[in-house]
Amino acid sequence: MSDDTTDVYLDNHATTRTDPRVVEAMLPFFTEHFGNAASSSHSFGRDAADAVEIARAEVAQLVGALPREIVFTSGATEANNLALKGLVHVSQQPHLVVSTIEHPSILDPTLRLERNGCRVTRIGCDNNGQIDPDHVAAAIEPDTTLVSIMWANNEVGTINPVDRIARECARHGVVFHSDAVQALGRVEIDCQSLPVGLLSLSAHKIHGPKGVGALVVRRSENRIRIAPQIEGGGHESHLRSGTLPVPLIVGFGTACRLAGELIESETVRLDQLARQLVDGITSRLPGVSLNGHPELRLPGNVHLGFDNIDGDALMAGLKRIAVSSGSACTTADPEPSHVLAAMNVPESLARASLRFGLGRFNNSDHIDVAVNEVVATVQRLRNHDD
Strands 144-148 and 119-123: unpaired
Three-state DSSP class for 333? coil
Task: Provide the sign of the torsion angle of the four alpha carbons 222, 228, 231, 233, taken in this order.
Answer: negative
Helix or strand holding residue 60 (H, E): helix 43-63
CA distance 186 to 183: 5
Of 169, 191, 256, 329, which is the active-site residue? 329
Note whether 328 and 14 are within 8 A (CB): yes
Q: For residue 191, indicate whether it is catalytic.
A: no
Strands 175-179 and 198-202: parallel
CA distance 17 to 39: 32
Say which amino acid occupies 173.
G
Q: Where are the beta strands (DSSP E) in the chain?
A: 8-9, 70-73, 95-99, 119-123, 144-148, 175-179, 198-202, 213-217, 288-290, 301-306, 321-322, 353-357
Q: How many CB atoms lie within 10 A of CB 294?
A: 8
CA distance 155 to 153: 6
Name the DSSP letter for residue 312.
H
- The gap from C-alpha 179 to its chain's centroid, in whole angstroms, comes to 7
- The gap from C-alpha 365 to its chain's centroid, in whole angstroms, comes to 27
All residues at 6 or more sequence positions from 272 whose CB lies less than 8 Å from its CB, including other chains:
none
Task: Provide the sign of the torsion angle of the four alpha carbons 88, 229, 109, 123, taken in this order.
Answer: positive
Between helix 43-63 and helix 246-282 the angle, nearest 10°, is 30
Q: Which residues are catalytic?
A: 329
